[in-house]
Amino acid sequence: MSESSETVSNESLGEELAGESALQTRSLWKDAVGRLLRNRLSVIGLIITLFLLVAALFGPYIAPYSYTEQDLLNVAKMPSPDHWLGTDEIGRDLFSRVLWGARTATLVAIFTTFISVIIGVIIGAIAGYGGALADNITGRIIDIVMSVPGLLLAALIAVSIKEPVVTWAENIYDTTGFPLFADTTWLDLLVVFGGLAFVSWPGYARLIRGQIFSLREEQYIEAAKSVGVSELKIALRHLLPNAIGPVIVTLTFSFSSAMVLESSLSYLGIGVQPPQASWGNMIASNIGSWSYRPWLVAVPALTLAIVTLGINFLGDGLNDALNPRSKRSI
Amino acid sequence: MFVYTIKRLAVAIPTFIAVLLITFTLTVLSPFDPVAMMMSQFEGTLDTLAREEVIERIRDQYGLNDSYWVQFSRWIGRLVQGDLGISINGQRDVLRMIVKTFPISFQLGLAGAVVTTILGIPLGCIAALRQNTWLDYTIVGGTLGFRTVPVFVLAPLLLVLFVLVLDIMRVPRGWDGLFQSKVILPVFILALGPLPVVVRQTRAAVLEVFSMDYVRTAKMKGLEMWRIILRHILRNALIPVVTTLGFIAEGLIVGSIFLDSIFAIPGFGGVAEAGFRGFDYPVIMGVTMVSAIMIILTNLIVDLVYPFLDPRIKIE
């Protein structure tokens, strides 16, 4: 080894010889991870995202106070050793509420993304495989949904389905007595999921459709077809692995936009209702007093800004890492 | 051109009708019962037996017992006459509320669009010309950051920064016309939302044009760089930027929903926000429809203007 490392050519030769096994271990994914970790911004994004996930999972255990506990002797206090980020307008610990808000935001973002991916993949697949007519019809539907601002449509849906959902739950509670249906906080979340999922799926449907159409032209798909591989097998074996990169990137971006939409709805008083903590309703309830209690607005606002920035940087890095050919084409 | 226009209209009109249908269906599903609302005023004056009868008669009178399609066509008929209904909170004419506030938001939005363009196109050019340098990363990364940070986050943070920390402005509140210093911050915040789209589009377009033969020829002839940029690159790169107008319109509308109340601007967005906060159905519907009309119209105009800007687009 020491002899061969004398010259550059020998070294590269040795690497090539050893490459037989290295070739198999250095997979596409490892490559992607390497590219991701070399990008400084995306590492920052990754760290912020991990922080968010930890806060969402363990926040309630880390939080020094409950999110509803009021300390009426210490209302709207500046940050102090007792209350790290101060207390809000009715004496609740701001740090604890921010942690609980992380849980709300993450929960909504995960569920909304999950629901809208499922709808989007189904409709995208119908558009991609169902022939020209199906493609036209789904294309129309997507155009229509996208022509209304997402926030307005989500808000309209949330407002409309809220009351029916609450009555439905009350009816179930009256007949079955399940304690689960007595609590309405998760119903708020359900309403938000519904509204947000409805406005987020078209992006996925378009993406999946585009992937199906563009990958179909690839020669390896043609080759697979010519040797008689079934459509389903081609879809699972070739289309899916190739489409997964762009899907992951879109997932990241829509995760942050779902979070922002949840905060927006909660800010407008449609989404998550107080006393449940959401960064949106925390900003809303203090925005009027920004000039004399700035930290009450600044803390949730900065948290939301940093988190969305971090996730976007991560998504950007993932885009470069997973689609190296489209480098810097955001 | 005529056929093209007809085709574009054939896309825009059904989209609009579908938006109407969605909005109406959501109202039918909605919890709001106008009759129950009316009856609550007579609480205690009617005995319970007569009450059911009265409610039924009122529902008949207002056609609330008719079928879905009858109600829908009647609703469309009223819309055509400009009747958007009456708000629940305050009993005001929704169309009047929108018409009164719309000009203010339109001016603000126009100013925002101008600022976005003025900032976005040069930034996109610089990023493209310095591709893959720190400048490029800073511009793209910086604007990317603002891609999703909402107005209700930016506005208070910038207010705290400019008014409390830096102390360079007084609290901007209210509306005294467009050419006032207090408009600067709201317009700037509005403009930040759609900015990344403009920057990205410009950057991509400039990069594409940059590799064209005529640019290389111009460079070989020894033309100065700024002249190449102005005469050859920018001119051709601006065409795809026009397509972002729809995004800009959407960004401005959504932005103003949050902006108006923060800066006490009596605009369209403020009406929308109050509508949402009060679960004020007619207002929410009116606002959604007007926004959808604005976006569909903007996209239609972009589609119609585009062939003139780029003759390569096939008109048929």
A293-303 tens-digit pLDDT: 888 888 888 88
| Percentage above 90 pLDDT, chain A | 1
Alpha carbon of B256: minimum distance to chain A alpha carbons (Å): 12
| Percentage above 90 pLDDT, chain B | 0
- What is the per-residue pLDDT across B280-306, written as a single tens digit (0 to 9) for each? 778 888 888 888 888 888 888 888 887
- What is the per-residue pLDDT across B196-224, written as a single tens digit (0 to 9) for each? 888 888 888 888 777 778 888 888 887 77
Q: Mean pLDDT across the stretch A183-209?
A: 81
Q: How far apart are CA A207 and CA A190, in angstroms?
A: 26
Q: How far apart are CA A268 and CA A149, in angstroms?
A: 15
Could you tell me the two tokens for A52?
Answer: 């968010």
**In chain A, whose CA is at the least distance from the CA of B299?**
A147
Of B15, B137, B279, the CB nearest to A147: B15
Residues 6+ apart with CB under 8 A from B19: A144, A147, A148, B288, B289, B292, B296
Q: How far apart are CA B254 and CA B150, in angstroms?
A: 9
Q: How far apart are CA B131 and CA B145, in angstroms?
A: 19
**In chain B, which residues have their Cβ closer than 8 Å to the Cβ of A152?**
253-254, 257, 272, 287-288, 291
Taking only residues 268 to 307 of chain B, the set having a beta carbon closer than 8 angstroms to any beta carbon of chain A reads 272-273, 276-277, 279, 281, 284-285, 287-288, 291-292, 295-296, 299
Q: Mean pLDDT across the stretch A139-160?
A: 82
Q: Which residue has the higher pLDDT, B107 or A17?
A: B107
Work out the pLDDT band at B44, boundaries 50, 70, 90. low
Could you tell me the two tokens for A135?
Answer: 């493609």
| Contact between A152 and B287 using a beta-carbon 8 Å cutoff | yes
Q: How far is CA A182 from CA A166, A167, A172, A227, B107, in A?
A: 10, 11, 9, 59, 48
Is-contact B195 B146, C-beta < 8 A? Answer: yes
Residue B147, pLDDT score: 66
Alpha carbon of A305: minimum distance to chain B alpha carbons (Å): 6
Of A164, A268, A287, the CB nearest to B262: A287
Of A41, A144, A290, the CB nearest to B156: A290
Interface test with A, best of B20, B133, B134, B149 (most A CBs within 10 A): B149
**In chain B, whose CA is at the least distance from the CA of A300?**
B153
- What is the per-residue pLDDT across B133-161, written as a single tens digit (0 to 9) for each? 888 888 887 787 766 678 888 888 888 88
Is-contact A271 A105, C-beta < 8 A? Answer: no
Alpha carbon of B125: minimum distance to chain A alpha carbons (Å): 14
- Mean confidence (pLDDT) of chain B: 80
Q: Mean pLDDT across the stretch B6-32?
A: 79
Work out the pLDDT band at A325, boundaries 50, 70, 90. low
| Contact between A160 and B30 using a beta-carbon 8 Å cutoff | yes
pLDDT at A182 over 70: no
Residue A145, pLDDT score: 83
**In chain A, which residues have their Cβ closer than 8 Å to the Cβ of B23?**
156
pLDDT at B97 over 80: yes
pLDDT at A20 over 50: no
Q: Is B11 on the interface with A (CB under 8 A)?
A: yes
pLDDT at B61 over 70: yes
Residue A324, pLDDT score: 61
ipTM for the complex shown = 0.79
Residue B315, pLDDT score: 52
Interface test with A, best of B13, B21, B147 (most A CBs within 10 A): B147
Is-contact A265 A158, C-beta < 8 A? Answer: yes
pLDDT at A26 over 70: no
**In chain A, whose CA is at the least distance from the CA of B198?**
A330
Containing B202, the helix (H) or strand (E) segment is helix B195-210
Residues 6+ apart with CB under 8 A from B121: B198, B202, B234, B238, B241
Residue A136, pLDDT score: 86
Closest to A140 in 3D by CA, of A209, A213, A195: A209
Residue A47, pLDDT score: 92
Residues 6+ apart with CB under 8 A from A243: A208, A211, A212, A215
Residue A4, pLDDT score: 42
pLDDT at A16 over 60: no
In this structure, which amino acid lies at residue A283?
I
Least confident of A27-31, A225-229, A307-311: A27-31
How many degrees, rounded to 5, is the angle at CA B210 between CA B209 and CA B211?
90
Q: Mean pLDDT across the stretch A63-87?
A: 73
Is-contact B161 A295, C-beta < 8 A? Answer: no
Of B141, B159, B281, the CB nearest to A41: B141
Residue A327, pLDDT score: 46
Count other C-beta atoms under 10 Å from residue B259's C-beta: 28
**In chain B, which residues have their Cβ closer than 8 Å to the Cβ of A163?**
30-31
Of A143, A155, A301, the CB nearest to B156: A301
DSSP SS3 for B93 = strand
Count other C-beta atoms under 10 Å from residue A253's C-beta: 21
Q: Is B135 on the interface with A (CB under 8 A)?
A: no
**In chain B, which residues have their Cβ closer than 8 Å to the Cβ of A147?**
15, 19, 292, 295-296, 299
Alpha carbon of B279: minimum distance to chain A alpha carbons (Å): 7
Residue B313, pLDDT score: 64
**In chain B, whose CA is at the least distance from the CA of A330?**
B200
Is-contact A100 A60, C-beta < 8 A? Answer: yes
Q: Is B140 on the interface with A (CB under 8 A)?
A: yes
Work out the pLDDT band at B32, boundaries 50, 70, 90. low
